Structure 1
Amino acid sequence: MTPGKLARRAPSPAASDTRAAKRRKLEYPPLTPDDYRNGVMLAPMVRSGALPTRLFALKHGAKLVWGPEMVDKAILHAERVVDPTTGVVSYMGVSKAMWTTHPIEKPFLIYQIGSADPDLAVQAAKKVMNDVSGIDLNCGCPKPFSTHAGMGAALLTNPDLLCSILTALRENLPPEISVSAKIRLLPTQEDTLKLVERIVNTGVNCLTVHCRTRNMRPRERALVGRLEEIVKFVKGLGKDVAVIENGDCVSYEDSKRIRKLTGADSCMIATAAEANPTVFSAQPYIDLETTFVPSYVRLCKYLNNHWSGTKFCSSQFRGEHVSGNKSTQTAMKNAIAQAKSYDDLEKLVSPWTGEREFEEIVSAIEARDRDRQPKIEDDAPALSEATSSCTAAAAAVAAETAKATERENSPAASEGAESATLSTVSSQDLSTVKTPVQSHSPDLSLLRAPLVPANELRIPVPAAVSGEDVPTPTPSQQSAEVA
């Protein structure tokens, strides 16, 4: 090269025929402790906390959403790929995406990391920090896949390592990236408070407390009563740290009760959201087989969500039923269970209007107008044309199933009356229908009634005395007699 002359710039690469989609994102200020307050959050759930579920949770009132736990080493080997059509950001593993997100959820998205090494935790957090607003350290998962490597709930017995990871995250991440932790209760309240104090002093913005100990299972009632003292303790430390309750919160309305009982800043929903991602609404959806599942599947296909993940999540959905019949409900569940791809659900969920489903979610999120607090409204779904067509398709599949069993179990008149009822109720505006508070099975064998006579004078006379051997009634016979 001649002295004094600059080398010519390399030619620009040829323009691609496929033009990248405009990046959809929202401009929000960095998360503060106040952003973790006064809301209902979606808990981190492996597999169930996928991108489509998080987007629907945001649409229906979740203030913030946690992604599923990702192990630090796993995400470090992932390749970041952006879909030019949908804008979906995928962190690709060997055969499929191990974690996906979209810029529209970034202001509300907390990335949960599983780690037992401060350096690896920082590297993993930096890998994804441009796609999230906060990093959360998992200190509560009791599953072996997490604890065997010293992560998750294993950190509860190693507070020095736990706090060193949080300190490293806070010191090495940009200030606009929030840092938080999610723990479980320790066996004693004294030990729990000592751990909480150490965590708060690491500089976290938020602490989520799952009100169960490491050894407690989901079927055991959460120890919500222990949280009130923890909340007061954190406030007494003089640190600006939000405290979120997790455990046995099942809905937006239920969160009011728990917050009043514990003084917690917010509540986090896990199991109930896995069954119905609309529970963050003041009036969650009912009859999910027709009002929610089709929309969910359409969105998943549009976002190119892996079918195995879509199938798993869809199979978990369940809720209250007001309209339709059992055959209609079973038809959708059986179709999902037997489907091997999106194409197998064509008859039940077409037309494939996933892009429209996505735009409705975007509109709901943009309506927050730079305020992370959603505007809670009674948004029970009216049956749209797409939903109505799905209901008709599901009814058609159910009718085929009903015909097969009619000859053995049901009279023709009964099926006709049932179909008429379905048609009438399906045409109603579901915004006028209220979800039943509780329902009970009429089967006496499921009512857990005491196995003793209600009146000692009515004790059956032994056959040896009466000379008559009366057969023991079945639960169905008992139900008929009671009726």
Structure 2
Amino acid sequence: MVRSGAVPTRLFRFENMVLLWYGVQKLSTKQFCTLKRVVDPVTGVVSYNGKSRAIWTTHPIEKPYLIYQIGSADPELAVQAAKTVMQDVSGFDLNCGCPKPFSTHAGMGAALLTNPDLLCSILTALRQAVPPELTVTAKIRLLPSQEDTLKLVERIVNTGISALTVHCRTRNMRERDRATIERLREIVDFVKAMGKDIAVIENGDCLGAEDANRVRQATGAHSVMIARAAESNPSCFSSTPLSDIHETLVPAYIRLSKYLDNNWSLTKFCLSQFKSPHTKPNGKAEERRVRESIVKSRSFEDVVDVAGGWTGEEDFREIVRAIEARDAKVHEELEQEEEATMADVLSRISSQRSDNAYITPPGTQNPHPPSSGAPLIADIQRTLPALISGQDPMTPTHTPSINPLPMPVL
């Protein structure tokens, strides 16, 4: 998701039920280590700047859901890059699946699949270097041989990762080739048999919520990663994705991008990727008009008629409210699940205990914590952005005093 994973795009996806976002960067780890971190005192946007522009940006509100994907062929440089951004993300994913020459020519991406010693040394170095509350994961592709794939999976899992994403295509396969998701079931069962408490995530030929349910049932995967479909429609994660996107998303996207000072060229690129079905009689003609206006534009001011005014701050607040409401729902569901689990446990204990008292068998050990040591998303303490709270505890950078905005009542 190079380029298309801009901050405004990520925020709209978080609003539409995405649980985790894997941020991809084309920049090498060596270059990334030289960037300067700057925080906008008004919007809270965190920028990692090169000599002339921001190379990567993020916002504190997305930190609990943001995984930074690293492309590296050097354990030391991978660790340096991770330490550079670790205050702004929740984990790191090693990209072992990108087949593009800009990755493979330097030994990164899919090239790591044929160099398992280097691959595992990078994961081990990351796991040892970053705090336990930050996850370390890996994303791979299938090897031509299922036996070789399982051998590689075993080595990767034993490095201490928290999750493994499997793109169900080989290195030489492309988007036009059907993903062989049927090969994932054996991988899921294999990891489970290893006794490792990690998630296996499917990637490939999944276009939305309905596909995700189908893939999970077919493979036993814990979750599903969606990439290209999310470029076309950031709401594809929802059970009711947006249609007529030139009316329902594009204006708000432009307003939010301007408010967050997103680069216009990058904004324009992301807008060019958006596509959706039409539900109105003149939908296709209206979409063409909007696209032509965007194509001809050279700045935000050239598309004010499409944006409908500059109310990006209100759009941002709306996204904050949606994320907060979603988190409240997640907390409620987790509490209900915990209550149901506890009731089941108490029922079993009650049926097994003696008439006198509950007795702990001699020699009983405390259960081991999850191997990742990372908290559930819902348990992460969110720090609100400076725009809302008037404070910026995410960074030692001094934030000028601003009047905090009233928090929405959910």
How far residue 366 of structure 1 moved from its aligned partner, in angstroms, is 1.5
Q: Secondary structure at the match of 2:24?
A: coil
* Alpha-carbon distance in 2 for matches of 1:374, 1:306: 38
Aligned to 1:343: 301
Aligned to 2:279: 322
Q: Is residue 276 from structure 1 mapped to residue 233 from structure 2 by the alignment?
A: yes
Counting only pairs closer than 5 Å after superposition, residues 298-309 of structure 1 correspond to structure 2 as: 298-309=255-266
Aligned to 1:235: 192
Distance 1:165 1:175, change over 3 A: same
* Alpha-carbon distance in 2 for matches of 1:288, 1:125: 36
* Offset from partner CA, 1:150-197 (integer Å, 9 cap, x none): 001110010000000000000111111110000011111011000000
How far residue 336 of structure 1 moved from its aligned partner, in angstroms, is 1.1
Match of 1:361 among 312, 319, 325: 319
Aligned to 1:68: 24
* Alpha-carbon distance in 2 for matches of 1:127, 1:90: 12
Aligned to 1:222: 179
How far residue 288 of structure 1 moved from its aligned partner, in angstroms, is 0.5
Q: Is residue 245 from structure 1 mapped to residue 170 from structure 2 by the alignment?
A: no
Cα pair 1:63 1:374 within 8 Å, conserved: no
How far residue 93 of structure 1 moved from its aligned partner, in angstroms, is 1.3
* Alpha-carbon distance in 2 for matches of 1:198, 1:160: 9
* Alpha-carbon distance in 2 for matches of 1:327, 1:350: 19
Aligned to 1:461: none
Give 1 or 2 for the bigger CA radius of gyration: 1
Distance 1:168 1:370, change over 3 A: farther
Aligned to 1:199: 156
* Offset from partner CA, 1:393-422 (integer Å, 9 cap, x none): xxxxxxxxxxxxxxxxxxxxxxxxxxxxxx
How far residue 371 of structure 1 moved from its aligned partner, in angstroms, is 7.2
Structure 1 vs Structure 2: percent identity of aligned residues? 64
* Alpha-carbon distance in 2 for matches of 1:185, 1:197: 13
Cα pair 1:228 1:263 within 8 Å, conserved: yes
Number of residues of Structure 1 aligned to a counterpart in Structure 2: 331
Distance 1:113 1:258, change over 3 A: same
Aligned to 1:468: none
* Alpha-carbon distance in 2 for matches of 1:212, 1:74: 30
Aligned to 1:47: 3
How far residue 369 of structure 1 moved from its aligned partner, in angstroms, is 3.7
Q: Is residue 140 from structure 1 mapped to residue 103 from structure 2 by the alignment?
A: no
Q: Secondary structure at the match of 2:117?
A: helix
Q: Secondary structure at the match of 1:67?
A: strand
Distance 1:181 1:222, change over 3 A: same
Partner letter of residue 318 of structure 1?
K
Match of 2:143 among 186, 190, 193: 186
Cα pair 1:181 1:204 within 8 Å, conserved: yes
Partner letter of residue 153 of structure 2?
V
* Offset from partner CA, 1:348-368 (integer Å, 9 cap, x none): 112111111111111111123
* Alpha-carbon distance in 2 for matches of 1:152, 1:245: 17
Partner letter of residue 5 of structure 2?
G
Distance 1:200 1:370, change over 3 A: farther
The unaligned stretches of length 5 or more in structure 1 are: 1-44, 376-483
Q: Secondary structure at the match of 2:70?
A: strand
Counting only pairs closer than 5 Å after superposition, residues 101-120 of structure 1 correspond to structure 2 as: 101-120=58-77
Runs of 4+ aligned residues of structure 1 deviating over 4 Å after TM superposition are 370-375
* Alpha-carbon distance in 2 for matches of 1:371, 1:95: 42
Aligned to 1:208: 165
How far residue 370 of structure 1 moved from its aligned partner, in angstroms, is 6.5
Aligned to 1:445: none
Partner letter of residue 346 of structure 1?
V
TM (norm. structure 1) is 0.67
Q: Secondary structure at the match of 2:56?
A: strand
Q: Secondary structure at the match of 1:49?
A: coil
Query: Which of 1 and 2 has higher RCO (CA within 8 Å, sep 6+)?
Result: 2
* Offset from partner CA, 1:109-167 (integer Å, 9 cap, x none): 00011110001111110010000000110100011111111001110010000000000
* Alpha-carbon distance in 1 for matches of 2:293, 2:51: 29
Cα pair 1:75 1:124 within 8 Å, conserved: yes
How far residue 233 of structure 1 moved from its aligned partner, in angstroms, is 0.5
Aligned to 2:290: 332
Partner letter of residue 198 of structure 1?
R
The unaligned stretches of length 5 or more in structure 2 are: 334-410
Partner letter of residue 360 of structure 1?
E
Partner letter of residue 349 of structure 1?
A
* Offset from partner CA, 1:237-275 (integer Å, 9 cap, x none): 000110000001000111000000000000011111000
TM (norm. structure 2) is 0.79
Q: Secondary structure at the match of 1:253?
A: helix
